[in-house]
Amino acid sequence: MSSDAVRFSVDGLVHHPLVGRPGKVIAVHLNYPSRIAQRGRAPSKPSYFLKPVTSLAVTDEVAERPAGAELFAFEGEIALVIGTEAWRVPRQDGWTYVAAVTAANDLGVYDLRAADKGSNLRSKGGDGYTPLGPGLIPAADIDPAKLRVRTWVGDRLVQDDSSGTVVFPFGELVADLSQLITLEPGDVVLTGTPAGASVVEPGDVVEVEVDVPGTEHTTGRLRTTVVEGTERLPEFSAQPAVDDHQRAEAWGSAEAAGLPAPFELTDETRAKLQKVAVATLSAQLRKHGYNQLSIDGVRTNKPGNKLIGRARTLRFVPAREDLFRSHGGGYNTQKRAFDALKSGDVLVVEARGERGSGTVGDILALRAQVLGAAGIVTDGGVRDYTTVADLQIPTFSNGPHPAVLGRKHVPWDSDITVACGGATVQPGDVVVGDDDGVLVIPPALLDEVLEAAIEQEAEEEWIAARVAEGAAVDGLYPLTGEWRRRYEAERTGQEGTE
């Protein structure tokens, strides 16, 4: 924090003119549906982190982006100021323990998130990283569901949302926190930020206002100017570090961060893959230098059906009694992996080629089908084989086996890089299967390989027609010389008539 920052002290302790010196500042991770949609994860219960009281600041103060950092982000929020000691408060009474609300800016340095491992201590706890104010709105005068929070960066309105949309109402947050933590007068609870929170640069001015539309109740605008730090963190401190994931989170989306659009398996691409044989794709992958992308030893239970989708992964480790007791029962990794499937996913299971146990049965296969998954691939066995085969979802496996999981496997982890049938598979890889077997294709290769495969099949269709007419295969398969010239001439002629 800049040495010029305003500080209020009593007896040498930092105090804020609106809230004094609270015992604690507590912030909610996610609460607004608009922000939850950006994050892609929906909390079933609220979760929190602490911010130091030394992070408090007032309007017209500066906030320092550390030297060497890239991603300094604002989050306009509604702050609750506790007025009465709260301990194990009933849900319906939580709001009565709030004295007032004010505007807050939950500032943070995404470059330091990796070092905090979820605590957010330094990434969001720096001096001046919790501006509050400039005014208070008495809680007794308002309906907590009628508040509005707005944020401006310069002249641009970047956040505008209502407390009536939140997943966890404000009174419920107070009641929830009070079940294990005594809330004391002056404590501050930050209630989450809506969509629009993003990155700011030195020189930007961020303003946050909380009001009740149509009334005179307003906090006024809380102004914070971003400045560039002049001193780098010392060598013994964790250094700023960013990657594209943090950039997307800080800016609010990959698009806002200027990152390339993520790979999507479009309907058009799926339609092309539907027409191309796995054998043809395998030949083209080999021409591109890739010989290790076949998931060997697996066969389909639905001959004639094509498998096309994006990989999700599940890994089993060899059975060990103590590990199965700790990881095999209840809502284990296997069940969580199936429950997490989405439309178009293919669950690829690493079972080390072990055929002496089932790795999926009828209930979990049905769960995958209901969720819209495109298929299941396991290099282990399948229980309830006939019932699974009667489902619509295709399953590629090492064959049937009646034994339960614990005979050979412990469900261990999911959505990591796995080995299945001798092939390395990463989450997001494209998986294609037919009666010949299954291939895994890195997304970056797909377009080039697919177009070449389509061309190869067009050639082979033409060659097959010539063979059916009685032609010998010498020079015809593969196409060379005069046969190649004839094929190219016919193809050019066909294209010219379209």
Secondary structure element (H or E) that encloses residue 496, with its range: helix 481-496
Q: Mind giving me the DSSP string for 417-470?
A: -EEETTEEE-TT-EEEEETTEEEEE-HHHHHHHHHHHHHHHHHHHHHHHHHHTT
Tell me which residue of 171, 212, 174, 166 sits closest to 193, measured CA to CA: 166
Q: Mind giving me the DSSP string for 373-398?
A: --EEEESSEESSHHHHHHSSS-EEES
pLDDT(381) > 90 = yes
| Distance, CA of 77 to CA of 163 (rounded, Å) | 10
pLDDT, residue 12, reads 59
CA geometry: angle at 480 spanning 474 and 484, to 5°?
Answer: 115
| Distance, CA of 460 to CA of 196 (rounded, Å) | 53
Domain boundaries, the chain: 8-251, 293-441, 445-496
At 279-319, the pLDDT tens digits run 999 999 999 999 999 999 999 999 999 999 999 999 999 99
| Distance, CA of 193 to CA of 208 (rounded, Å) | 11
Which ranges of 127-183 does DSSP label H, i.e. alpha helix?
170-178
Query: Burial, 168: exposed, middle or buried (Cβ in 10 Å; 0-12, 13-18, 19+)?
Result: middle
Q: Are 473 and 318 in contact (CB under 8 A)?
A: no
Q: Average pLDDT over the chain, rounded to whole?
A: 92
Give pTM, 2 decimals: 0.63
Residue with the two structure tokens 């989170």: 249
Three-state SS at 144: helix
pLDDT(9) > 60 = no
Q: Are 129 and 53 in contact (CB under 8 A)?
A: no
Which ranges of 252-370 does DSSP label H, i.e. alpha helix?
267-275, 278-287, 321-327, 333-339, 362-370
The helix, strand and coil proportions of the chain, stated in percent and rounded to the nearest 5, come to 30, 30, 40
pLDDT, residue 5, reads 42
Q: Which residue type sits at 47?
A: S
List phi, psi (to 5°) of 158: -115, -15
CB atoms within 10 A of CB 403: 13
At residue 4 the predicted structure's pLDDT band, cuts being 50, 70 and 90, is: very low
CB atoms within 10 A of CB 333: 18
pLDDT(7) > 80 = no
At residue 3 the predicted structure's pLDDT band, cuts being 50, 70 and 90, is: very low
Cα separation values, 253 from 32, 146, 257, Å: 16, 28, 6
pLDDT, residue 389, reads 95
pLDDT, residue 496, reads 54
8-251 against 293-441: fold identical: no
Determine the distance from the C-alpha atom of residue 235 to the mean position of all C-alpha atoms in its chain, rounded to a whole number.
Answer: 32
Tell me which residue of 204, 178, 210, 206 sits closest to 192, measured CA to CA: 210
Residues 10-23, mean pLDDT to the nearest whole number:
79
pLDDT, residue 400, reads 95
Q: Which range is least confidently modeled, 286-295, 426-435, 478-487?
A: 478-487
Q: Which residue type sits at 81?
A: V
What percent of the chain has pLDDT above 70? 96
At 386-425, the pLDDT tens digits run 999 999 999 999 999 999 888 999 999 999 999 999 999 9
| Distance, CA of 337 to CA of 199 (rounded, Å) | 34
CB atoms within 10 A of CB 496: 7
At 325-367, the pLDDT tens digits run 999 888 899 999 999 999 999 999 999 999 999 999 999 999 9
pLDDT, residue 225, reads 97
pLDDT, residue 84, reads 96
pLDDT(477) > 50 = yes
| Distance, CA of 89 to CA of 277 (rounded, Å) | 64
pLDDT(91) > 50 = yes
At residue 262 the predicted structure's pLDDT band, cuts being 50, 70 and 90, is: confident
Q: Which range is least confidently modeled, 88-92, 128-132, 233-237?
A: 233-237
Residues 152-172, mean pLDDT to the nearest whole number:
96
pLDDT, residue 39, reads 82
- What is the sign of the dihedral through the CA atoms of 162, 19, 223 and 116? negative
Residues 236-247, mean pLDDT to the nearest whole number:
89
At 165-209, the pLDDT tens digits run 999 999 999 999 999 999 999 999 999 999 999 999 999 999 999
Bond from prior residue into 185 cis (ω within 30 degrees of 0): no
Q: Which CATH architecture has domain 293-441?
A: 3-Layer(bba) Sandwich (3.50)
Give me the CATH topology for the region 8-251: Fumarylacetoacetate hydrolase; domain 2 (3.90.850)
Which of 70-84, 118-132, 248-262 is predicted most confidently? Answer: 70-84
pLDDT(11) > 70 = no
At residue 57 the predicted structure's pLDDT band, cuts being 50, 70 and 90, is: very high
